[in-house]
Amino acid sequence: GPVINPESLTNFHALPRCLIAVSPDGNIAWIEDDVIRSELEAALGQHGLLQGDYILTELKPGEFIMPGFIDTHIHACQVPNLGVGGEDQLLDWLNNYTFPTEARFKDMGYATRVYPDIVNRVINSGTTTSCYYATLHLEATKILADVIHEKGQRAFVGKCNMDRNSPDYYVEPSAEESLESTEALIDYIQGLPRTPSGEALVHPIITPRFAISCTDKLLTELGDFAESVPDIPIQTHISENPKEIEETLELFPNASSYADVYDQFKLLRNNTILGHGVYLTDDELQLIVTRGAGVAHCPASNFNLSSGMAKVGKMLDYGVKVGLGTDVSGGNNPSMLYTIQMASTTSKMVAIQSTGEEEEGTFTNKRLDTATLLYLATLGGADVCCLKHRIGSFSTEKAFDALLVSVRDDTGNPAVWGYNQGRDPTEEPHSRYEDKDLKEWFQRFFYCGDDRNIRRVFVQGALIGGQEFQG
Ligand code: GUN
Ligand code: FE
């Protein structure tokens, strides 16, 4: 049936009659871009598949398949706080709302009760890969990793390193203990059972919360440790809020910029994921490109905490890898669709405010179009977490991490003027699939869809969520 397949920052494919073959190991065996119904068996036969060799899933009119979303920045432990505290800016918000919420995860019973619902909600909103921040607690973070593993989502999971400038009730006692529990978490996650194909879906990630909450000693030790494990990614926050930047530069007087702080401690590299980057300077963008690090653009959070509007177009023109992040609960919604819509709004506001000297073929100060937004939410995110060879689009040997989306009116989402509305029910649908219809269905979903339109969620070929999933 119909398939949406992102290709680049400026192009995606809308294939009305696509056939994707998924192997038992969950990887894509092959793809035929255009197969008409009457030639289906012949097409399968040409790939050596006879009846009985395969299970065929044929989509209804108004349904399509697209790659799952990749959320490059979410705090799983902050979901219980969703929607609360948006009157504050970052540093007050952390002290007044976030740290008290996160401190509750000291209680493993609490973690055991809430993490399953949190991960379910994330999966059902269409996120097939998440870069999760947990709290500073080792045990609760192991529980989060267990839950994700059990549910079959693809993810990176890190426990926060934070040994200063945090309240007494929520701070690590020393740099040594912070590092020890980080190493213990990594060992634990790497010891989780693999998928049948031998691949791990849950990965560890080194997570210094942000420069303000880490002593020089902790950052030094983390940087040395990170150097010994070059394949383990790093995630942190950067340049989100003016007061935060001011405080950071006061704490690190020898650094020439916020990005330079991380660089000096060997924490800025090709698999570093930098959350926000609202106020990055030209020099910092250049440094980030040189190191090959990526940015998690968190537009909903940047509005919600009145942080500002990140200049994503400019980042792209510099050649920075960019993905999208919900940044729950700085962001007030765990849905990547909502985040995509906020990224669109941010780019329109930046464009409206610009002086109108945009260059042909560039992104700076321009509205991001559907192809670019789709790229950021899929392939861009995959690039940021160094999994572009595995996820983010459909191609042979990549994993089948996918959403079955429906814009039919029986989904219960009244915002989407669906496929069936006003159509003649006797109309024969399959012969009528057009590229134009599919692009419209996709736009309806992209700009006003929600969880109700996400019928099935697949990771590594396995059905793990969505409205039709009975887990
Ligand atoms: N900077 C340090 N910690 C946080 C956090 O939890 N959320 C956001 N948005 N920014 C941060
Ligand atoms: Fe964050």
Label residues 208-235 b or e (16+ Cβ within 10 Å = b).
bbbbbbbbbebbebbbebbeeeeebbbb
Q: DSSP code of 65?
A: E
The arithmetic mean of pLDDT across residues 216-221, rounded, is 98
The arithmetic mean of pLDDT across residues 103-113, rounded, is 98
User: Which residues lie with the beta carbon below 6 Å from any ligand 1 atom?
Assistant: 75, 90, 94, 98, 209-210, 237, 240, 301, 327, 330
pLDDT given at position 196: 79
Lowest mean pLDDT among 209-213, 413-417, 430-434: 430-434
Task: Give the three-class secondary structure for 66.
Answer: strand
Confidence of residue 100 (pLDDT cuts 50, 70, 90): very high
Confidence of residue 189 (pLDDT cuts 50, 70, 90): very high
Atom of ligand 1 nearest to the CA of 213: 2
Instruction: Give the DSSP H/E element, type plus range, for residue 91.
Output: helix 90-93
Q: Is-contact 102 114, C-beta < 8 A?
A: no
132 Cα–ligand 2 center, Å: 10
302 Cα–ligand 2 center, Å: 10
pLDDT given at position 428: 62
For the cut 80, the answer to whether the pLDDT of residue 13 exceeds it is yes
Atom of ligand 1 nearest to the CA of 160: 3
pLDDT per position as a tens digit, 340-364? 999 999 999 999 999 887 889 999 9
CA distances from 206 to 50, 153, 257, 273 (A): 47, 19, 22, 10
Q: What is the DSSP string of 98-132?
A: IHHHHHGGGSHHHHHHHHHHHHHHHHHTTEEEEEE
330 Cα–ligand 1 center, Å: 7
Compute the residue count for the chain.
471
Percent composition of the chain: helix, strand, coil (DSSP 3-state, to 5): 40, 20, 40
Mutate to test the pocket of ligand 1, among 237, 276, 278, 306 (most ligand atoms within 8 A of CB): 237
Confidence of residue 82 (pLDDT cuts 50, 70, 90): very high
The arithmetic mean of pLDDT across residues 196-221, rounded, is 96
Tokens of residue 101, six digits: 């919420």
Q: Is-contact 294 322, C-beta < 8 A?
A: yes
pLDDT given at position 356: 81
Q: DSSP code of 331?
A: B
Atom of ligand 1 nearest to the CA of 98: 6
For the cut 90, the answer to whether the pLDDT of residue 21 exceeds it is yes
Tokens of residue 1, six digits: 């049936």
The arithmetic mean of pLDDT across residues 5-10, rounded, is 98
pLDDT per position as a tens digit, 374-428? 999 999 999 999 999 999 999 999 999 999 999 998 999 989 988 887 877 777 6
- ipTM confidence score: 0.99
* Region class of 165: left (phi > 0), else alpha (psi between -120 and 50), else beta: left
- Angle at the Cα of 125 (from 123 to 131), degrees rounded to 5? 55
pLDDT per position as a tens digit, 281-300? 999 999 999 999 999 999 99
pLDDT per position as a tens digit, 227-273? 999 999 999 999 999 999 999 999 999 999 999 999 999 999 999 99
For the cut 70, the answer to whether the pLDDT of residue 219 exceeds it is yes
The arithmetic mean of pLDDT across residues 215-223, rounded, is 98
pLDDT given at position 294: 99
What mean pLDDT value characterizes the chain? 96
Residue of minimum CA distance from atom 7 in ligand 1: 330
Ligand closest in space to the Cα of 89: 1
pLDDT given at position 430: 53
- Which residues on neighbouring strands pair with residue 8, listed in sequence order? 11
CA-nearest of 199, 270, 211 to 237 is: 211
Tokens of residue 181, six digits: 């529990």
- Residue 100 CB contacts under 8 Å (≥ 6 apart), including other chains: 170
For the cut 70, the answer to whether the pLDDT of residue 431 exceeds it is no
pLDDT over 90, % of the chain: 91
Residue pointed to by tokens 């902050």:
78
Mutate to test the pocket of ligand 1, among 71, 72, 74, 75 (most ligand atoms within 8 A of CB): 75
